[in-house]
Every structure is written in C-alpha cells, then in structure tokens.
Amino acid sequence: MTDQAVEHEVGRSRLRKEDARLITGQTNWTDNIQVAGLLHLAILRSPMAHARITRIDVSPALERPGVVAAFSGADLAEGLGSLPCAWPVTEDIVLPDHPPVAVDEVRYAGDPVAVVVARDRYAAADALEAIEVDYDPLPPVLDLEAALAEGAPLVHADKGTNRCYTWPLATGGSFESVRQRAEVTVKRRYHQQRLIPNAMEPRAVVVTPLAASGEYTVYSATQIPHILRIMLAVVTGIPEQKLRVVAPDVGGGFGSKLQVYGEEALALAVARKLGRPVKWTESRSEGYLATHHGRGMIQDIEVAATREGKLLGLKVDLLADMGAYLMLVTPGIPLLGAFMYPAIYKMDAYEFNCTGVFTTRTPTDAYRGAGRPEATFAIERIMDELAAELGLDPVEVRRRNWIRHEEFPYTSIAGLTYDSGNYEAATEKALALFGYDDLRAEQRERTERGAPVRLGIGVSTYTEMCGLAPSRVLRDLRYAAGGWEAASIRMLPTGKVEVVTGTSPHGQGHETCWSQIAADVLGVPFDDVEVLHGDTQAAPQGMDTYGSRSLSVGGEAVHRAATKVVEKARKVAAHLLEASEQDLEFTNGVFSVKGSPEAHKSIQEIAFEAFTSHDLPDGVEPSINAETLVDPENFSYPHGTHLCAVEVDTETGRTRIRSYVCVDDVGRVVNPMIVEGQVHGGIAQGIAQALYEEAVYDAEGNLVSGTMADYLVPSAADLPDFVTGRTETPAASNSMGVKGVGEAGTIASTPAVVNAVVDALRPLGVHDVRMPCTPERVWRAVKEASA
Amino acid sequence: MTHIKVNVDGTTYEDDVEPRLLLAHYLRDRLGLTGTPIGCDTSNCGACTVDLDGETVKSCSVLAVQADGGTVTTVQGLAKDGEWTALQHAFHERHGLQCGYCTPGMIMAARDLLSENPHPTSDEVRQALEGNLCRCTGYQNIVRAVLAASGQQVPEEATA
C-alpha cells in the first residue's frame, strides 16, 4: 500500500508554507518588480481641502531631466471614467463623479491634480515641483452636523446637498412604545474617530503593456485582483479579457486594499498612452492622504430597559463620514454595522437610522471590521452604562439579556439568524482565565483607599457577522456583486495537487490552511499540495479576501472541490478494481474494496490513470479535476468574551493594560496557531483605536497626523501579552463548521479597553472618555469630573 | 555622481550614485536586493533595517554614499548555504510573521538585540523592537520568537 498521510491535517498547528520566502527576503512585493524600460509615476496632490483649480500647466515638468510625460486631469479625462462605487445603498443615493485626477475642483487635501512620468522615482518626484497650479479656495466641509444644515458649503455643489443617503431600519415594535413603558433609559453619544489602516506594505502598482495585442498585466498590492480586473475594464474601457491582474505577495490590507484606486486606473491609463511599463509606489505620508481611511462616525444610541436590567429596545442614529467621494463600498460600511447593534441581546424593538455625509476629507471605506467594530463599541459601551445606572455588575447585565445556548438558531431583532453559539460557555471560561473576582476585589480596595492609580475592568461580549456573504442578501442590500467563492483542484499526473482559490491572501496563511483542507479530504501529503492564488490568469474566478470570508466561503469551496475529486476518482477506481462504487472504501487517500484490502488504488494512481486515459470506464472524461463555486446560505457568526484590566493613573492620565484575556468561538479551527495569530493582531488594532490612533484634521481640513511620526501605530512596547482561549461551537452554515476570525479581535477589543478605562474612573464621576483615550483626555476627564 | 564601493551580503559593488540616493533605494533599485522593504518615509517603521558595519541602521535614513567603504548585511545575507539562522527558524516556528513585510527589519533589529543582550526578558525585547512596527501580529509571537531564538523556554501557545 502507498505510504499516505494518516494524521488529520485540519486542527493542527502546521507551520506556514508562506514563511520561507518572507524570512529570507525573497518576497515578491509589487514594488520589487523591475522590467526593462520601466517608467515611474508620481502624483501631484492638492495641498488644500477644497478649492477650484483656476489654472494648471504641466509643461514645465517636461523640461526636467528624465521626465517622459506629464498630464493634468483634463489630459487624462478621455478614456478614464469615474472611479466605481459598487454599493449604492439606497435608490436615491447621491453618487458624485470621481475622476482619478481632479479636473476643475479638488475636494480633499491629497486629491490628485496632475501626474508626471519619469525614468526613475527621484526624477518623477522632483518634476512635480515644476507643475504650476492656481487654486481658488473654497470652504472646507468638516463637521458632520454642520454639513447637513441649510446653507452649508457643499462638497459637490452640483448635487445640492452634503447628504449622501439616509438608510433606515426598524424591526420589532416601535422604539417609542417600549421607551414609554421602560423604567430606565440610557442615551449616549459616541465618536468613532477616523483611523488610518497602515498596512505595512504601502500601496504599489506596476502595469506592463503588450502594445501589439492591447493586453495589459496589472500587478497591484491589492486584496481584490478579481474585482479590480472587472472594475479597471469598466473605468478604462479596456476589454476585460485583455486585462490580467496579479496580486503578488501583499503586505497586509485590513480593508485598505479592498479598493479600486485611482492610482491603479492611472497607471493603466498612462501605460496605455505611452505603450511603456509604469510603476507607482506610494510613500507612507502620501498613503495617509491617498489610501482610504476607516471609521469616522457619530453614534447616538439609546437603550430602554426594565429596572431588572432587561432590555426592551434600542435606537441608533448614525452620522457617517463618507469623505469627499464614494469609493468601492464606502456607503455600505455603516450598514454592515446596522445589523450588529443588537449584538447578542434579546429585545422587543430596534430602530436604526444612518445618514452618510460628504466632507472634504480623504474618503472612508472598509477598515478591519468595517461597521461592526463601531456597532459593537456602541452597544458594549452602553451596556456598561446601563449596568452602572442600575448598580449591576456589567457581566450580569449582559447575562440577563443574551441569547441562551439552547435558543440557537436564533433570529435576532435585526433579522439575522445566528446559527450557533454559546455565550455562557465563552464568558465563564474567560472570567476564570481572567481571575475576575480577584481583580474586582483589588479594584474595590484601590477605590476605598483613594489610590492615585486605579484599576478598571472592561468586558465585551461580542458577536459579529462575517463570511461575506450570501449573494441574495447582498442583492437585498443593493450591493452590486455576489458573495460566492471559487475553488478548483487539479490532480497532476505526478501525484501532486494544485489547489486554485479565488481568495487573495495578504498575510492570512491561505497557502497553508487550504493545503491542510485539501490534504485531509484527498488523503495526500500536505507538502504535495500547492495553492495558487492572486492572479486572474492562474485563478480566473474569485471574489477575493475581505470581511473574514476566506475560510468560511473560500475554504469551504476548497473542501467541496476536493470532495468532488474523490467522487470522480471513485468511478475510475471502481472500474480499475472491478468493483461497484458502493463496495469501495476511501481512507487516507486510498480506494480499496471492502473485505479485500489487497485490491487498492491511491488517488494519485487514479490521477495518473486519468492522465493516460488508457483504461477509463466508458463515458467518463479523462480527468478527476474538479471545480466548484460556493454561495453561502448565511453569514458566519463568531462570538466571544474579551476582558481587559487597565491601570489608570488619575494624576497623569496614563493608562496601562495590566491583563487582557479573551475567549473566542470561531467554530472548528483549521490551524490553531494561525487563529491565535489572527486574534492577537485583531486585538492589537482594536486597542490601537481605544488608546492610540486618530486621524486629526485642522480647521482648514489639513491632515495634521499626516505622517507615521504623527500618528501612533503602536509598537511592541505599547502593547501587552494577550491570553487567548477558545470554545468551539461549530457553525451550522458550512460543512466544515468554521467561522471567520480575521476581524473578531478588532471588533471585540475596543469596547473592552474603553470600558475598563471608564470603569477605573467611574467612582470619580467619569462616565466616558473619548477615543483615543490618550493621557491628556483621561487627565481632562478626571479634572472635569472633579470640578 | 559619487563613486562608492560597498560590500553587501558578501559581494562588493562599485557604483556611481547621486549623493542623495538613499541606501534603501540603492539596495532595492540599483542592486536588486529587494529583500529589504520600505514601509515609511519618517524612519518610524523599521522595515528597512539593515546592518552597516556592525551597527543597525534604518536604510531609509542613510545615504548610499555614507555606506561607501562599508559592509552591509541585509536579511538576504543571513542564511549561510541555505541554512537559516536561529532567529529565522524562531520566527517561522513561533508564527512571528503574517504578511511578512516588517519581518526583515524585525529580524535585523532582533539580531542586534541578541548580540548585545543574549538573554533578554520579554520587556527588554519589546523595548528593543520599539522602532520596528508590525500591523499583523500584535507582537506577542514576535517576542516569543526572539526569546526562543535566545535559547530561552517559551510557552508554546497561550491558547487555553
């Protein structure tokens, strides 16, 4: 019998296949690409938030050494359409034109106004200085509420309003009626500051044209090569079949590379105009202006409850900062949160209303969690406020409201059907790991003696919807595309296996995890599996990677495609072994006849038989390869309980996370090591929002935190160790029982940390600290409360 | 143009360069040694960290002409005859990387730490790597990797 892998791959902490090239410096980042005759693109950007361009002259740039071409917006307008928004959330949404290079008006500091193409990056950057532009300043639009007032200056004058859309949702009874009978109501306003995603690899794009055939290869640091191909065809008019899009090694995304960027279209347009290969790489500071931001919302939230702390209803009014233009999914981001405000809690009424507002700032769009961190923050913060109002323990108030494990599947008040979960189990485990009672005792002791350094405990019992997404749900939300994922499996004659996936990893480890899944189903060695991705020529179908979808949709597709391979192989095996299909067993990659184990064929032998086709049954095609597309029937709903203990120095405002414990339930786990890593990174980004990061604009609309020196991406010295635990309630919505994990940590952690900070200061009369909870803000909150 | 002679990862290169050319761009664009990536323009992120004459430097903050006559070691020069260093093994085994963009700089900075302090504490590792930013890992596994490379016992996983 052939020596086959017998140990199950799924569930093992396999070390990553990706690592070898990454730790030896043999990576293929987009900016590494060098081709003969490569030209470098540099972009002149508006220094003003809002202005009319009264004159522009790019010709002086042409005099500079090494410069090959220079173009204004008008020069490029022909053959370069508006950048796409694929999520027009309402019928009457205001959809402004979004030229990749502004023609007559700039609408945020950083809006492109002209481009230079030169022989090297230094020459291109130098020549930008020679371009002459006259601006006639217009008033900036920065305040979300003022922007909606009558007579406010307009971001898009031709649209007559700064209101992009209003999207309402009302489910259950009316909030007003439950409010009437409520014994307690709590209303708060929370600010979701703007965040800058900061994937470590700056964006880059390289376009190589084949002039004779009109074909173009676009290499881009993108999360979405497949969507990008379609959209670039639409924007440039180049036929889709003439475009090949490649996402080489991509250095993180967090949503910021889930985008169709002007620079991608520009590089393609310029390569087409000049018939030469073109590269553009952003500098980090340029990226702070030009790569979309996340969050940026004002949340008015109100809960109505009984004296016992039982929730009756919830009302949420959102103002969401769209920025200056609508990018790929800008308007839809708040809607991904709309369904999550009720979270894990039962109630009778829910009202939600979101108004998208244009401002003269960098456009917003998806950033890790996209809508769900905001929703989770608001509900988990106000649950603490409700607990404080009622004098209850924050964990107890949650316990009185959450869906009990025996109630699953449970349709939430917002209309989502949560397929599985066990909030009790995750919370109990987290409380035990955390040492909740001891920390509470220490907190009381510090409070009683009026210690200058207080202890706060924050809890966050989150769930989220991910695994985007059922195509029919996306249709109902007016999203322009579907949510399926593709996989195919090629059984090579030499016994090796190629898995082709439509997901597009950028740090998640799909090469490793998809190999584990395929190896298990096919019974072949892990090392014999190669995963191909991120190239529309190698992996022609896909919906790419975002929204914690890759495993529950794309991994599921790999699983099903592999299962199909086994079924196709079974027919051939039955023929070769002269047995009926029902009489065959398939174990560890080997078909054998029940009762006569000496008669067997490995799946690799079957693959070779299919290749030679010398002895296939009649009517059977000469291949056991298989492909499949999976369109999930439901979202994936990971959940968990995060607990944070923070020491707060009331004299300096300094905070220090003393311990952080989480228990996440992400269903069945393919690779525990990778899951733990995803949770760590997610928590770090959520803590960053709670304590460190904010995109700050001045009154003129300039991005003040415009470099990495001014925007605090936390370092190792700014973050603690995390204790991670898991419970495992299999998802019912896919055959593997898996849920998403990429965003869970970020969604859960921000409210846990802020709840802890506020909890430390509550005895001093503090009820909120605006994010990020910097020492200055904490100090001011203490001073104001004691005044 | 200025004539420079630099040994990088064991090979000596001679080139005429603009005095303003950054060492990072010299390595990447002129020598094709793209193992050293660039992550920012303010010397905050540390992705471009290399060793210059025994000192750890951010190659985006050093001019190529300053490396004239010097010896540069990049992440591409660490493995000898295909054999990874202890740090490279540890980053792999402790899952100290996800997207991997910060990894060359992290490994170079950690190498510097371990040469000065062969048995650092967890806090010392965190302080030493303060100038190297990672957006994926939350740093915990990077710290574990560095501790493991220093020969210290490190818990496998915190997962309960």
CATH class of A19-26+484-630: alpha beta
* CA distance, residue B69 to nearest chain A CA (Å): 24
Cβ pair A366, A406 in contact under 8 A: no
For the record, the structure tokens of A511 come out as 């090469």
Which DSSP symbol is given to B29? I
> Which tens digit of pLDDT belongs to each residue from B106-135?
999 999 999 999 999 999 999 999 999 999
Distance, in Å, from the CA atom of B156 to the CA atom of B144, rounded to the nearest integer, reads 9
- C-alpha to C-alpha distance for A323 and A325, rounded to whole angstroms: 6
Query: Cβ–Cβ of A250/B136 closer than 8 Å?
Result: no
A316 pLDDT higher than 90: yes
- The mean predicted confidence, pLDDT, of chain A is 97
Residue B20: what residue type? R
* B138 contacts A681? CB cut-off 8 A: yes
Question: E strands within A479-621?
Answer: 485-491, 497-501, 529-532, 584-587, 590-593, 596-602
Confidence of residue B64 (pLDDT cuts 50, 70, 90): very high
| Residue ranges of chain A that CATH labels 3.90.1170.50 | 36-138+200-252+257-290
Whether A677 sits inside 8 A of B134 (CB atoms) is: no
Whole-number pLDDT of residue B77 = 98
Q: Which residues contact A177 (CB under 8 A, 6 or more apart)?
A: A349
Query: Tokens in use for A778?
Result: 């904490």
For residue B154, name the pLDDT band (cuts at 50, 70, 90).
confident
**pLDDT at position B155:** 72
**CA nearest to B105, candidates B23, B34, B52, B36:** B36
Can you tell me the distance from the alpha carbon of A461 to that of A664, in angstroms, rounded to the nearest whole number? 10
Query: Are B18 and A674 a contacting pair at CB < 8 A?
Result: no
pLDDT per residue over B144-153, tens digit each? 999 999 998 8
β-pair partners for A281: A204
The residue of chain A with its CA nearest to that of B74 is: A25
Q: Which residues contact A249 (CB under 8 A, 6 or more apart)?
A: A21, A22, A27, A28, A29, A506, B100
Distance of CA A13 to CAs A664, B93, B94, B96, Å? 17, 10, 10, 14
Q: What digits encode the pLDDT tens for the residues A565-587?
A: 999 999 999 999 999 999 999 99
Do A729 and A421 touch, CB atoms closer than 8 A? yes
B140:A15 CB<8 A? no
Q: What is the pLDDT of residue A526?
A: 97
Shortest CA gap A132–chain B (Å): 25
Under an 8 A CB cutoff, do B103 and A23 touch? yes
Residue B75: pLDDT above 80? yes
Rounded to two decimals, the pTM is 0.97
Residue A9 predicted with pLDDT over 60:
yes
Per-residue pLDDT band for B157 (boundaries 50, 70, 90) equals: low
Interface probe for A, chosen from B101, B106, B124 (most Cβ of A below 10 Å), is B101
- Provide the pLDDT for residue A750: 98
| In the block, residue with structure tokens 């490994």 | B107
Chain B closest-CA separation from residue A757 CA (Å): 20
* A18, A21, A24, A643: best to mutate for the B interface, most B CBs within 10 A: A24
Q: Which of A23, A285, A288 to mutate to test the interface with B (most CBs of B within 10 A)?
A: A23
pLDDT of B160 reads: 54
- The answer to whether the CB atoms of B137 and A674 lie below 8 A apart is no
Report d(CA A261, CA A98) in Å as an integer: 11
In this structure, of A145-159, A725-739, B142-156, the range with the lowest mean pLDDT score is B142-156
Residues of chain A with CATH 3.30.365.10: 19-26+484-630, 294-468+634-786
* A534 shares contact with chain B (CB less than 8 Å): no
Query: What are the tokens at A102?
Result: 């502004």
Tokens of A402: 């959450």
Q: Are A45 and A110 in contact (CB under 8 A)?
A: yes
| A615-645 residues labelled b (16+ CB within 10 A) or e (exposed) | ebeeeeeebbbbbbbbbbebbbbbbbbbbbb
Q: Is A250 on the interface with B (CB under 8 A)?
A: yes
pLDDT score recorded for residue A234:
97
The yes-or-no verdict on residue A554 having pLDDT over 60 is: yes
Query: How many interchain CB pairs under 8 A, A with B?
Result: 207
CB A529 within 8 A of CB A535: no
Give chain B positions within 8 Å (CB) of A30.
none
Using one digit for the tens of pLDDT, what is the confidence trace for A75-134?
999 989 999 999 999 999 999 999 999 999 999 999 999 999 999 999 999 999 999 999
Whether A757 shows a pLDDT value over 90: the answer reads yes
Q: Calculate the CA A633 to chain-centre distance.
A: 20
Percentage of chain A lying above the pLDDT 90 cut: 97
Among chain A residues, the shortest Cα distance to B35 is held by A25
Whether A65 contacts chain B with CB within 8 A: no
Whether residue B158 has pLDDT greater than 70: no
Q: Where are the alpha helices (DSSP H) in A209-315?
A: 225-236, 262-274, 284-290
A508 vs A18: CA distance, rounded Å = 10
A36-138+200-252+257-290 has CATH 3.90.1170.50 classification:
yes
With contacts defined as CB-CB under 8 Å, which chain B residues touch A206?
Answer: none
Tell me: the pLDDT tens digits for A163-201?
999 999 999 999 999 999 999 999 999 999 999 999 999
Q: Can you give the pLDDT at residue A728?
A: 97
DSSP code of residue B35: T
Residue bearing tokens 């299999």 = A730
Residue-wise burial string across A584-610, b where 16 or more C-beta atoms lie within 10 A, e elsewhere: bebebbbbbbeeeeebbbbbbbbbbbb
Q: What is the pLDDT of residue A390?
A: 98
* Residue type for position A482: G
Residue A204 · residue A284 · CB < 8 Å: no
Cβ–Cβ under 8 Å, residues A124 and A41? yes
Cα radius of gyration (chain A): 28
Structural domains of chain B in order of their starting residue, each with its CATH number: 2-77 (3.10.20.30), 86-149 (1.10.150.120)
- Choose the CATH number for A294-468+634-786 among 3.40.30.10, 3.30.365.10, 3.40.50.300, 3.30.413.10: 3.30.365.10
CB A727 within 8 A of CB A719: no
Longest dimension (CA), chain B: 60
Residue A673: closest CA among A15, A8, A22, A17: A15
B100: nearest CA partner in chain A: A22
Q: What is the pLDDT of residues A235-278, one digit of tens each?
A: 999 999 999 999 999 999 999 999 999 999 999 999 999 999 99
Distances (CA, A) of A432 to A435, A456, A642: 5, 17, 12
Confidence (pLDDT) at A3:
47
Chain B residue closest to A512 (CA)? Answer: B98
- Cα→Cα distances A175→A170, A305, A337, A470, Å: 9, 11, 19, 29
A199-237: pLDDT as tens digits: 999 999 999 999 789 999 999 999 999 999 999 999 999
A565 close to A624: Cβ distance less than 8 angstroms? yes
Backbone angles phi, psi at A661, to 5 degrees: -125, 135
- A contact test, residue of B98, B102, B156 with most A CBs within 10 A: B98
Angstrom distance (rounded) from CA A425 to CA A404: 10
Strand partners, A51: A106, A137
Instruction: Provide CB contacts within 8 A for A774, sequence distance 6+.
Output: A653, A691, A692
Interchain proximity A25–B36, CB inside 8 Å:
yes
pLDDT (average), residues A16-45? 97
So what's the pLDDT on residue A7?
66
Residue of A111, A103, A113, A44 lying closest to A74 (CA atoms): A103
ipTM of the complex: 0.97
d(Cα A284, Cα A298) in Å, to the nearest integer?
A: 28
Whether A729 contacts chain B with CB within 8 A: no
Q: Is the pLDDT of residue A5 over 70?
A: no
Q: Please count the residues of chain A.
A: 787
Identify all chain B residues contacting A659, using CB atoms and an 8 Å cutoff. none
Supply the pLDDT for residue A2.
43
Closest in B39, B103, B139 to A22, CB measured: B103
- Cα B117 to chain centroid distance, Å, stands at 17
pLDDT at B85 over 70: yes
Q: Are A251 and B100 in contact (CB under 8 A)?
A: yes
* Residue A495 at interface with chain B, using a CB cutoff of 8 Å: no
Residue count of chain B: 160
